[in-house]
Amino acid sequence: MADHLLIELDRSSPVPLYHQVATSIEAHIQSGLLAPGDFLENEVALAARLGISRPTARQALQELVDKGRLVRKRGVGTRVAPERIRRTVELTSLQSDLERAGRKPSTRVLAYETIEMPADVAALLELPAGSPVVHLERLRLADGEPLAVLNNYLPQETAPTREELERLGLYEALRARGIRPAVARQRIGARTATAAEAKVLDEEPHSALLTMERTAYDESGNVVEFGRHIYRASRYIFDTTLFAH
């Protein structure tokens, strides 16, 4: 329990006390004094130790929760959040991104089914509506912790098997079949989690999610796959570099 942290307050400063507390705790996280997974004292103990009100202590902790620095769970407590996965906005698989970040990826295949092509997906895959398509739903974990739910639609004749997807990333499995994604169109957004999504991802109800829709093509311009993915905003960042023209 990190109840020994030095937190100095300037009560004559125009900076609100809650923000001073939050800034001090964040500095300890950045310095490594507070490591991912370390527990903090609760707001009652923090308020008593610093001589501040309980609402002020609560607001300080909530500021860090909102920034993704802390996680709070009822009945468990407040602890330092795991480091976020930073993903460059490139045509890579989540599995390879996790491996490059030194994390251990694993996959649970939640659904593997052949369905009739929904009209919106048919347009994106450039196939007739009602054609058979393989729908995949996978839970991707990093070091055993849920990170993302990945929904993908692929033409039936090129889809990897369920067993392959439990061992390999989707793009790795496709390349093993001679199919090489070369370019993609994608859209990144955000929304709150449904109750079912929050449960699968081990998040609180209505937590923030990052979303991504991607249509990938091979070098000949043929559609390889279409995906709708959700990521825990508390664990994940899309990182991009912009160039001026």
Q: Is the pLDDT of residue 242 over 60?
A: no
Architecture of domain 85-239: 3-Layer(aba) Sandwich (3.40)
pTM of the prediction? 0.64
pLDDT per residue over 168-217, tens digit each?
Answer: 889 999 999 999 888 888 889 999 999 999 999 998 888 899 999 999 98
Is 173 within 8 Å of 122 (Cβ atoms)?
Answer: no
Q: H/E/C letters for each residue in the chain? A: CECCCCCCCCCCCCCCHHHHHHHHHHHHHHHCCCCCCCEECCHHHHHHHHCCCHHHHHHHHHHHHHCCCEEEECCCEEEECCCCEEEECCCCCHHHHHHHCCCCEEEEEEEEEEEECCHHHHHHHCCCCCCEEEEEEEEEEECCEEEEEEEEEEEHHHCCCHHHHHHCCHHHHHHHCCCCCCEEEEEEEEEECCHHHHHHCCCCCCCEEEEEEEEEECCCCCEEEEEEEEEECCCEEEECCCCCC
- Name the fold adopted by 17-80: Arc Repressor Mutant, subunit A (1.10.10)
For the chain, domain boundaries: 17-80, 85-239
Mean pLDDT of the chain: 85
pLDDT per residue over 120-150, tens digit each?
Answer: 888 888 778 888 899 999 999 988 889 999 9
Q: Quote the tokens at residue 146.
A: 């849920």
